[in-house]
Amino acid sequence: MPGIVVLRWGHRLQRDLRLTTHVALTARALGASGLMLTDIEDKRIKETVEKVVKNWGGPFFFEMGIPWKKAVKDWKAKGGIVVHLTAYGENIETSDVLQRIKASGKDILVIVGSQKVPREFFSEAVSDFNVAIGNQPHSECASLAVFLDRFFEGRELTKCFENAEVRIIPQKRGKKIVRDC
């Protein structure tokens, strides 16, 4: 199964702290290997993500400050493909775009933005696939969750994380966690 890394573009320091953190948490919980926060550094998010990985397990890496063009260029140079999640792309439900992505057998860099992305993102020079989770405005966190769930066909929901210090015990009612797993 190919590896998936999320590239978060457009993080606005004062406005997007919580949502970018949620994108990272969603990526980790639903099967991505890591997240790149491009073009900016926000130590608060890095600390939060590292704390979650320490407590709840990994592996999951977090990098920041890399220019997005360099990240995409390096990814493609290593043989990976780029999937841009956008409301304007091929609909994941009504097209065969997901099958074509899977058939490539290549590692995937998933781009999610937080604001209007440069027109360049839609070009073949950047994105191998422009994928829509519905063709309506929606949250990048929601689109990432749907994409990862569809890609992994639900298997990511039972993933066991390595070196977890805390683990939830599923049950019908209440909350039960185990420490020092």
Q: What's residue 16's pLDDT?
A: 76
> What's the CATH number where 76 sits?
3.40.1280.10
- Please name the residues in contact with 181: beta carbons below 8 A apart, sequence gap of 6 or more: 57, 164, 165, 166, 167
Report the DSSP pairing between strands 61-66 and 81-91. unpaired
CA distance 137 to 133: 9
Partners of 147 in beta bridges:
none
Ramachandran category for residue 75: left, alpha or beta (phi over 0 → left; psi -120 to 50 → alpha): alpha
Provide the domain limits for residue 30: 4-179
Question: How many structural domains comprise the chain?
Answer: 1
The whole-number pLDDT of residue 115 equals 79
Helix (H) or strand (E) holding 168: strand 166-168
Over its length of 181 residues, how does the chain's per-residue pLDDT go in tens digits? 679 999 999 876 666 778 899 999 999 999 999 999 999 888 999 999 999 999 999 999 999 999 999 999 999 999 999 999 999 999 999 999 999 999 999 999 999 988 788 899 999 999 999 999 989 888 899 999 999 999 999 999 998 899 999 999 999 999 999 986 6
Q: Cα separation of 31 and 60, whole Å? A: 9
pLDDT at 116: 81
pLDDT of residue 72: 97
Q: What is the pLDDT of residue 181?
A: 60
Number of residues that this document lists for the chain: 181
CA 31-141-70 angle, to 5 degrees, is: 75
User: What distance in Å separates the CA atoms of residue 27 and residue 117, rounded to the nearest whole number?
Assistant: 20
